[in-house]
Amino acid sequence: MSENKLTRHEMREAALLILFQMRLNDSTLEELLEDDEAAFELRYNKSSLNIVNGVLENDGMFTEIISKYSPSRSVERISLMNRTIIQIALYEMKFCPSVPDKVAINEAVELSKEYCQKNDTAFINGVLSSYYKDCGREKADG
């Protein structure tokens, strides 16, 4: 595991890349990390792996949430990258009290600008913002 300090954005990005590759290649986390670290020098940290494990453990719940807040597209029609970005934000919104919900949403939008098509950014923001408004809560900053 990389011991380098990562920014919160880099940590989320590492989690995104790990999850995306795991789902694409049907690999275990251990296999993927071994391959990636050797071949690509993937930088990740404990927080990245916490997000990966949290998303994997709550996949069913996150799929239900996405399904509820995506009126225009069925979950099956949402690209793997888009779904993974949304799931990372949902994980942070539900399970990371130190991350304000609006920060999780903003980070998802930023990741989508890097890894998705332009219209996907609005879709991701819409799903997460609708979920946020419906839940009617925001965690304290800090």
62 with 92: CB under 8 angstroms?
no
Cα separation, 121 vs 119, whole angstroms: 5
Cα separation, 65 vs 54, whole angstroms: 15
Q: Which domain holds residue 105?
A: 8-135
**Structure-token pair, residue 95:** 């399970």
In a domain, 94, yes or no: yes
In a domain, 2, yes or no: no
In a domain, 140, yes or no: no
Q: Return the C-alpha torsion angle 6, 7, 9, 10, nearest 10.
A: -20
Which pTM value belongs to this model?
0.88
- Residue-wise pLDDT tens digits, 1-56: 444 589 999 999 999 999 998 888 887 888 777 776 666 667 888 999 999 999 99
- Residue-wise pLDDT tens digits, 82-101: 999 999 999 999 999 999 99
